[in-house]
Amino acid sequence: MEFFERFAIPHPSPAIYASMVAIAVVSIGIVVGLTYFKKWGYLWREWLTTVDHKKIGIMYLISALLMLFRGGADAIMMRAQLATPDAKLLDAQHYNEIFTTHGVVMIMFMAMPFIFAFMNLIVPLQIGARDVAFPRLNALSFWLFFVGAMLFNISFVIGGSPDAGWTSYFPLAGNDFSESVGTNYYMLALQISGIGSLMTGINMCTTILKMRAPGMTLMKMPMFTWSAFIANIIIVFAFPVLTIALLMGTTDRLFGTHFFATTNGGMDMLWANFFWIWGHPEVYILILPAFGIYSEIISTFSRRNLYGYKSMVASMVLISLLSFLVWTHHFFTMGQGALTNSIFSITTMAIAVPTGVKIFNWLFTMWKGKIRFTVPMLYSVAFIPLFTIGGVTGVMLAMSAADYQYHNTMFLVAHFHNTIIPGVVFAMLAGLTYYWPKFFGFMLNEKIGKSTFWLLTVGFVLAFFPMYITGLDGQARRMYTYSEATGFGPLNMVSFVGAALMAIGFVTIVYNVYYSYKNSPRNIGSDPWDARSLEWATHTPVPEYNFARIPQISSSETFWDSKKNGHQLFKGELKEIHMPNNSGVPFIMGVIFFIAGFSFVFALWVPAVIALIGILVCLALRSFEQDHGRHISVEEIKETEAKIGGAK
């Protein structure tokens, strides 16, 4: 019995028991459904073993949407608890677990897979490639992310969720103050998905550097590809820091080392430094691809080329460099003195300059354009003023002396949601609506899409703008309750109403998918938005080889040139196409990583060692494996092309 006690929840509540039942029911439902409809083979052949960047992208997309609802459920519980003074909906421990998982899930398991989804779906198409550079590694990246997310998500029903905040500062996150296995889950789940992210970074950089179609010089790449390129360079430099910090944190918790302890030469603030040396570049990993998506959308729906292409690229390069020079602004109040704070205050404010250039370039892209207010464009238009507000409050926070008053308050919470929601989330939803027809063959309903947009925008303003005010009134973040005397009540109620509107908005996205699947016409052609860049030059749905012939590139808007200026995109005869084989190994490795992670969380050394050996065996087998891929014959290509709309 004693062995099983460790898996029990330290702070059970009816909601958690209900979730356990729900998880069990859904899992049984999936297994029964797959068996009944005889879909196990389909699932294995088409999805679990796939190395196709488009299918991997779709799996990232589905995971991101699922995690959006998980993190959103956390958010609405927090807002409900804070809506009234002295509320008893959640106790302190549950509230602490919920804001911790909200942060981790939203950043690591919602925003990251969302941008990876778009990188996978769009980058190879935009550069005229047939897949990424290392397709099997790409599948492994996905499965590592996925099992990391699953490992993190089972924490609240097995052993207890982490409760030290998404920043997990030591010594609070150490064994002395966080006794449950929650923080072990945090360390291991982030470690596993982080390794996946690092591999994606290497993969995408290689793809963009080596696999561009003939004629596409670096300065002729579409803006989303540029943004993905820079984001992945940041990943390659930033994620190793996280990997090492998590490793040190794990050994502190499991093996009694003292890296971040406050005794025996350990140093608690070392964790904070490591965390933010990764953490600050991480926000640019999220926002740059979002900028890329906005660039594509604004240009398409203004019917204009992107204004200031070169300065757009230059500003992203500058942002990527500065992103590594600002981490200390997350703890100006640590007491490192006026000189250090001054330096980091200036580097932080400097980021406003390249970001401002981008804002003005988007405005000038709309200048003299012909603006159509489609759903993706509405998100982009709302993004500009809302993100500007988020940006300027960032400059305010960068003034370190004043930051002594903003730090750890709702003002800060308002600021980073003000950049992440209109910046990243709106971009993802705009991208989702914009690229949906490319991958699913039908458009999402505009009318429902517009109501979603309004619900989210109005909800966002109501939910987060009041926090600027309560922050300046002394409401610290992460407080599970406050007394009536503080006067925070009314504004927190407004926040709750806003959060509720946003929740309704997110539900309408699901309804939109269902409604459009039932009702949208399927004869939309391959270019429903009259777009400009290369991803729209191939068929809808995209054949597995993307392009029957590799396109010839003339500019960053090659597809537009081919439509308007008579540029010939596809030349020459059809040739045999070399494609990678599917493989079950990435999925199997994912499962083994999951077992290893789970065993480490509970310090079950025997399965942990067996799983680690299993990982090494998989790696060794791969290095001895001879797999030269397969070839699609010209006849087969002709057949496919004829079936999906004639050879182009």
Partner 1 sequence: MIKKWTFLTSVMALLLILTGCEPLLVLDPKGPQAERQASDIMLSIGIMAVIVIVVMVMLGYILIKYRASKQSEDYEPPHLEGNKWVEAICVGIPVLIVAYLSFVSVQSNYIVESAPEGYEEQEPLVIYASSSNWKWHFSYPEQGVETVNYLYIPTDRPIEFKLYSYGPITSFWIPQLGGQKYAMSDMVTTLHLAADSPGEFMGRNANFSGKGFAENTFNVTAMSQDDFDEWVDEVHETAEPLTESEFQQLLEPGHLGQMTFTGTHLEFSPAPEHNHGTNTDSDTNAESEDHSSHHEHHSTDESEHTDHSGH
- By CB under 8 A, the residues from 494 to 553 that bind partner 1 are 494
Distance CA 503, CA 73 (A): 8
| Residue 393 C-beta: closest distance to partner 1, Å | 7
Q: Which of 19, 251, 257, 311 binds partner 1 (CB under 8 A)?
A: 311
Q: Which of 263, 519, 623, 626 binds partner 1 (CB under 8 A)?
A: 263
Stretch that binds partner 1, among 114-122, 200-208, 360-368, 536-544 (CB under 8 A): 360-368
List the interface residues with partner 1, window 329-348 (CB under 8 A): 331, 333-335, 337-338, 341-342, 345-346
Of the CA atoms within 13 Å of residue 65, those in its CB half-sphere come to: 15
Of 177 and 605, which has the nearer Cβ to partner 1? 177
List the interface residues with partner 1, window 161-180 (CB under 8 A): 163-165, 169, 171-172, 177
- Binding status of residue 85 toward partner 1 by CB under 8 A: no
List the interface residues with partner 1, window 145-164 (CB under 8 A): 163-164
- Concatenating the DSSP letter of every residue in 84-131 gives STT--SS-HHHHHHHHHHHHHIIIIIIIHHHHHHHHHHHHHHHTT-SS
Q: Which of 180, 193, 361, 558 binds partner 1 (CB under 8 A)?
A: 361
Distance CA 518, CA 19 (A): 31
| Residue 579 C-beta: closest distance to partner 1, Å | 37
- Binding status of residue 566 toward partner 1 by CB under 8 A: no
Closest CA to 477 of 72, 160, 100, 41: 100
Structure tokens at 25: 């029911």
- Binding status of residue 92 toward partner 1 by CB under 8 A: yes
Stretch that binds partner 1, among 36-44, 121-129, 211-219, 265-273 (CB under 8 A): 265-273
* Residue 603 backbone dihedrals phi, psi, to 5 degrees: 55, 45
Residue 313: strand, helix, or coil: helix
- Binding status of residue 269 toward partner 1 by CB under 8 A: yes
Of 164 and 424, which has the nearer Cβ to partner 1? 164
Structure tokens at 457: 């925008």
Give residue for tokens 């010939």.
Answer: 568
- Concatenating the DSSP letter of every residue in 215-259 gives T--GGGS-HHHHHHHHHHHHHHHHHHHHHHHHHHHHHHHHH---S
| Residue 164 C-beta: closest distance to partner 1, Å | 8
Q: Which of 371, 524, 604, 634 binds partner 1 (CB under 8 A)?
A: 371
Q: Which of 21, 62, 219, 353 binds partner 1 (CB under 8 A)?
A: 353
* Residue 620 backbone dihedrals phi, psi, to 5 degrees: -65, -45
List the interface residues with partner 1, window 17-76 (CB under 8 A): none
Cβ proximity of 381 and 359 under 8 Å: no
- Binding status of residue 481 toward partner 1 by CB under 8 A: yes
Of 385 and 525, which has the nearer Cβ to partner 1? 385
- Binding status of residue 317 toward partner 1 by CB under 8 A: no
Of 487 and 541, which has the nearer Cβ to partner 1? 487
| Residue 434 C-beta: closest distance to partner 1, Å | 17
- Binding status of residue 350 toward partner 1 by CB under 8 A: yes
Residues 6+ apart with CB under 8 A from 178: 162, 163, 164, 172
Stretch that binds partner 1, among 134-142, 376-384, 508-516, 613-621 (CB under 8 A): 376-384
Cβ proximity of 588 and 143 under 8 Å: no
Stretch that binds partner 1, among 117-125, 273-281, 470-478, 597-605 (CB under 8 A): 470-478
- Binding status of residue 219 toward partner 1 by CB under 8 A: no
Long-range contacts of 89-94 (CB under 8 A, 24+ apart): 90/480, 91/11, 91/480, 92/480, 92/481, 93/11, 93/163, 94/11, 94/13
Closest CA to 345 of 392, 400, 405: 400
- Binding status of residue 359 toward partner 1 by CB under 8 A: yes
Structure tokens at 582: 């599917």
| Total residues belonging to the chain | 648
Stretch that binds partner 1, among 191-199, 394-402, 521-529, 532-540 (CB under 8 A): 394-402
List the interface residues with partner 1, window 400-439 (CB under 8 A): 400-405, 407-409
| Residue 563 C-beta: closest distance to partner 1, Å | 12
